[in-house]
Amino acid sequence: MKFKRKMTPIVALHYVKLVYRSALFVAALCLYIYNRIEKTHYLFSGFENNTVFLFCIWLVFIVEMILRFFPSRLESMGCQKQFKKNYIPTDYEVKEGERVVVQSKGSTLAVLGTWVALNGLIGAAYFLGWIDVGILILISLAYSVCDVICILFFCPFQTWFMKNKCCGSCRIYNWDYAMMFTPLLFVRSFFAQSLVVIAMILLIQWEYLLYKYPERFSEKTNCSLSCAKCHEKLCHNKSQLRSFLKKNRRYIAERPVIQKIKNYVPKKGR
């Protein structure tokens, strides 16, 4: 008899993040659309001017980031492996003069280049007047939802660029807040700019510790990153999804809608 895998506290916490971040994004999107339709001078029905409301949202993200600066049981090993407390050496012997390689530099630079290019276009659209501050905030909130989706279900950076086995061994795990708040670089607000600053400090800390202690970031040299030592099981949903797609790939490909898309040939104009 098979029993369902028990949800771990860290997985449950990520689902909580997914729910409240999604709710915040949907609420902001609805308010923004309403105010554009009604042609008011507000972005989000005046909530953007409510200091108490903004402080509450700001505080949630600030607390999340502060937890990343120190060892915490509420966070995944993926973003905690840089700390000495979580380093359990393996039997692998690092030769004199050898530097532990933590994933491909080319893949890392590809992610960085892609992200800079994408948000460079968003910034250009803002300065050209094609989008306003409200859109920048909505994009940032959308990024926050996608961040949790990447951890729980599907991560394009993992699949297409980094090729790491899971979030635990991810080279760029602690880039998430810096990436999430990138659009806020263009928003002139204490709340927005302070989120960006703290996210950048978190990123700098991560990169510094990676440079100084690369052995903590590799499964080859750190037992804490092995599947046998994993207690959070954040990859469970991803594994299930991959297995489902693999088993049903032929069935999905033969669906009428998929076949129509594959067989579609645009008509030539006269």
Token pair, residue 152, equals: 């729980």
Which pLDDT score is estimated for 248?
73
Token pair, residue 230, equals: 């994993």
Angle 151-152-156 (CA atoms, 0-180°, nearest 5)? 55
Token pair, residue 132, equals: 């306003």
pLDDT in tens, 232-268: 888 877 877 777 766 776 666 666 665 556 566 565 5
Which pLDDT score is estimated for 270?
42
Token pair, residue 123, equals: 């910034």
pLDDT in tens, 105-142: 999 999 999 999 999 999 999 999 999 999 999 999 99
Alpha carbon distance 218, 168 (integer Å): 9
Which pLDDT score is estimated for 96?
78
Which pLDDT score is estimated for 21?
97
Q: What is the pTM of this model?
A: 0.89
With tokens 């996608």, the residue in question is: 146
Task: Give Cβ neighbours of residue 72 (< 8 Å, ≥ 6 apart).
Answer: 80
Alpha carbon distance 186, 154 (integer Å): 29
Domains in the chain: boundaries: 9-263
- Which portions of the chain are predicted below pLDDT 70? 1-6, 245-246, 249-270
